[in-house]
Structure 1
Amino acid sequence: MKQGDVIGGYRVTTEPTNAGGGKCIWAFAEKGGHQYFIKRFLEPKRPRDDAADSASVRIRRQLADEFEDRHRTIMNRLRPDARGGGNLVLATDFFHEGSTYYKVTERIDTSSLEKPQTLEPRHKMVLLKTLGNSLKQLHDIDVVHGDLKPLNVLVQKRDDATFHTAKLIDFDDSYIAGNPPEPDDIAGDSVYGAPEWRRYMQRDGSIGPEQLTCAVDVFALGLMTHLYLTGELPHHDRRYGSPADAVNAGEHLDLDTRLSDEMLGLLRAMTARAPRSRPRIATFLKSLSDPKVCALQHRRPGTAKATSPAAKPTPAPETAKPSGPRTSRIKTNLASTPRPRAAAPSPEPPRPAVAEDTPAPPATPPAAEGPAERTSRVRINLGDRSPRRGSS
């Protein structure tokens, strides 16, 4: 494919590129006066119809048939004219020419807001709602997006609009829940991949295809929500290559404690290791009923707490303890990247009650018996401190 070529009736108008394309190259094209985005898949290759029959040809033909069937199934379920589908950028054509497969969508403005975290809380709430509603459309028909990440979400605002919206693109790696491609054929981004997806890719025998459900997208959405609200993904120990790998190892992700209690609880549930422990998209949308949920706040030490995404907030079993702007919830992070902690004052030992006109006992054992000086009472009121270790 090169500029000027006509493929399937589409004339390629730009030089093809692989930028952000994974296992494909893409370009812009024109047909019938309309502008399109055309993608050429590098694999699989479809054997010619007249190819001599052999074991390798049969295997290649089976892989091509499965690839084609998956794409056509998703296209039949995700119709461009579906009600409420305005924020889904769906394929309009899918075909093969020779041994190569192509997919076509309408051309849209590919510019995207680079820093959603700079938006006001109400604007963040609307942005997350549009993204959540797009995913809900998929999940309602048992379709997993399969590669949810910032590159596949265009954050845009029309000139006549007040709020930014999220347009969901690239359904090439989508599949029916519980029926993903084989580990060698499945695609996605390990940074946003769910724990069960990572184990499936690694051919962990404890994970079967039936466990790759819509909860895979919920995990990725939890990470993206943290990114959109704070500008960063949740932190995790550097020994692990991705958030999912850390969660699979039994670690907790380090959520930004500037997030509201409700959001901390919601994101903790969305990034849970067990798919069934994650909330559905409907719960995510219900949680976004007040802009305050998306607001950041600076807390006093010891006041952050993660709450459940249920209707009544309740403290989560594990409480985020901020130190400065963020704290580490992962033990191993404390060893690899120490962060300062605010030292809590040592509890004072209990003191016996004394009469109002009786001098209080001194803070240290007295050298000789006798009533304490009046100044010792003042010293006690300023703070009862035991002698420092090593002091005379």
Structure 2
Amino acid sequence: MKKGQTINGYLVVSRPGNANAGKCLWAFAEKNGEPFFIKEFLDPKRPRENGMGSPVDKRRRLGECDRFERRHERMMLLLRADDPYAGNLVLAVDFFPDGTRYYKVTRRIDAARTAPHTLSGREQAVLLHTLADSLRLLHERGIVHGDLKPDNVLLYRPARSRFHVTKLIDFDDAYPAGEPPARELVGGSPSYGAPEWLRYMRGDKAVRARDLTQAADLFSFGLLVHTYLVGEPPGHDAAYDSPAAAVAAGAELIFAPGLDPQTTRLLRALTDPDPAARPSIAEATRVLDGFGDKAPAERAARSSRVRINLTGRTQLNLSGPSAGERTTEAQ
């Protein structure tokens, strides 16, 4: 892919780059006067009929391409760009092969260059709620984003609005809950991934494919909330190279001391080592409902507890436990 090239009707109008793109190149493009973002996958490559390689090797590569196509096409069916509820998801509008390469196209979003931790509490609340709403839509449809990190959450300010919202992008590593790609193919970010994802990727047989669920996104969401509020993810012992590695080894994450107790309790719940103990995105959103509306001391006065119901599913309760309920509070 190069500037000035036309690919399946899309005119590439910027010089392709690879920043934060993994095994891809990306550029801006235009078609019928509309702006787009186009991504070229560097792997897998479709073998040419008269190209080099043995028949066995070509069949193997065609098999890889077939699985790649089916996975991306399945996600496009599950997450449609014309879904009226997906306004803050930047979803693929086109996916196609051209020559030996595959391409994916989305609408172009002109992102704002704003650091979330420098915004007011009210502005941060809007960001967190729009991100939580996007995750809630995914999770209700049984989908794991799989690579939730700052680079995949754009900040965008709509016309005539003083607030920024989030736009969730890059669903290349998304998968139906419990059905991730094979260990050697699963994507994700070491800096924002969940401990069960890290163990699965590293070949830990105790973690099965079915163990990678929406809860993995919730761990990443907890790290993102911390990053949005203080400018960086939670700290951890220097012996580990990521929050996921620290938590997988039983080490504690270190949350910023300036956070109010309610927020810290939520972050501890979201980053619990046990995926089943983490709250759902709907439950986390209820805790965030009061964020940004009150001063830190006032927010801290509202009790946020982790309540375990009879099914064992974690729930977050802003008003505190009712009589007779078994409670555990994240310290």
Structure 1-normalised TM-score?
0.75
Which whole-Å deviations, capped at 9, do the CAs of 1:129-154 have from their partners, x for residues lacking one? 10000011111111111111001111
Q: Is 1:46 aligned to 2:46, yes or no?
A: yes
* Alpha-carbon offset, residue 176 of structure 1: 1.1
SS across alignment from 2:317: coil
Task: Give the structure 2 partner of residue 206 of structure 1.
Answer: 206
Find the aligned partners of 1:146 and 1:310 in 2 and give their Cα distance.
27
Find the aligned partners of 2:202 and 2:26 in 1 and give their Cα distance.
29
Name whichever of 240-249 and 82-91 sits farther off: 82-91
Find the aligned partners of 1:256 and 1:16 in 2 and give their Cα distance.
38
Which whole-Å deviations, capped at 9, do the CAs of 1:201-222 have from their partners, x for residues lacking one? 1000101111111111100000
* Alpha-carbon offset, residue 260 of structure 1: 2.0
Q: How do residues 249-328 of structure 1 correspond to structure 2 at under 5 angstroms?
A: 249-291=249-291, 296=296, 307-308=305-306, 309-313=316-320, 319=331
Q: Is the CA contact (8 Å cut-off) linking 1:122 and 1:294 kept in structure 2?
A: no
Which whole-Å deviations, capped at 9, do the CAs of 1:217-244 have from their partners, x for residues lacking one? 1000000001111222111001101001
Task: Give the structure 2 partner of residue 189 of structure 1.
Answer: 189
Task: Give the structure 2 partner of residue 4 of structure 1.
Answer: 4
Q: Is the CA contact (8 Å cut-off) linking 2:236 and 2:253 kept in structure 1?
A: yes
SS across alignment from 2:226: helix
Q: Is the CA contact (8 Å cut-off) linking 1:261 and 1:307 kept in structure 2?
A: no
Q: Is the CA contact (8 Å cut-off) linking 1:135 and 1:281 kept in structure 2?
A: yes
- Structure 1 residues 164, 110: CA separation in 2 closer, same or farther (over 3 Å shift)? closer
Find the aligned partners of 2:330 and 2:99 in 1 and give their Cα distance.
57
Q: Is the CA contact (8 Å cut-off) linking 1:306 and 1:316 kept in structure 2?
A: no
Q: Which has the higher strand share?
A: 2
Percent identity among equivalent residues?
Answer: 46
For 1:310, the aligned partner's letter is N
Q: Is the CA contact (8 Å cut-off) linking 2:178 and 2:209 kept in structure 1?
A: yes
- Structure 1 residues 245, 294: CA separation in 2 closer, same or farther (over 3 Å shift)? farther
* Alpha-carbon offset, residue 91 of structure 1: 0.7
Task: Give the structure 2 partner of residue 374 of structure 1.
Answer: none
Q: Is the CA contact (8 Å cut-off) linking 2:192 and 2:223 kept in structure 1?
A: yes
Find the aligned partners of 1:19 and 1:68 in 2 and give their Cα distance.
24
Find the aligned partners of 1:137 and 1:50 in 2 and give their Cα distance.
45
Find the aligned partners of 2:270 and 2:29 in 1 and give their Cα distance.
39
Task: Give the structure 2 partner of residue 371 of structure 1.
Answer: none
RMSD: 2.2
For 2:4, the aligned partner's letter is G
* Alpha-carbon offset, residue 57 of structure 1: 2.0
Q: Is the CA contact (8 Å cut-off) linking 1:124 and 1:294 kept in structure 2?
A: no
Q: Is the CA contact (8 Å cut-off) linking 1:265 and 1:316 kept in structure 2?
A: no
**Structure number with bigger Rg:** 1
* Alpha-carbon offset, residue 306 of structure 1: 7.8
Q: Is 1:70 aligned to 2:77, yes or no?
A: no
Task: Give the structure 1 partner of residue 310 of structure 2.
Answer: none
Task: Give the structure 1 partner of residue 311 of structure 2.
Answer: none
- Structure 1 residues 203, 265: CA separation in 2 closer, same or farther (over 3 Å shift)? same
- Structure 1 residues 11, 310: CA separation in 2 closer, same or farther (over 3 Å shift)? same
Task: Give the structure 1 partner of residue 108 of structure 2.
Answer: 107
SS across alignment from 2:72: helix
Task: Give the structure 1 partner of residue 324 of structure 2.
Answer: none
Which whole-Å deviations, capped at 9, do the CAs of 1:233-274 have from their partners, x for residues lacking one? 111001101001000111111112322222111110100111
Task: Give the structure 2 partner of residue 58 of structure 1.
Answer: 59
Q: Is the CA contact (8 Å cut-off) linking 1:268 and 1:306 kept in structure 2?
A: no
Find the aligned partners of 2:118 and 2:14 in 1 and give their Cα distance.
33
* Alpha-carbon offset, residue 296 of structure 1: 4.8
* Alpha-carbon offset, residue 14 of structure 1: 1.2
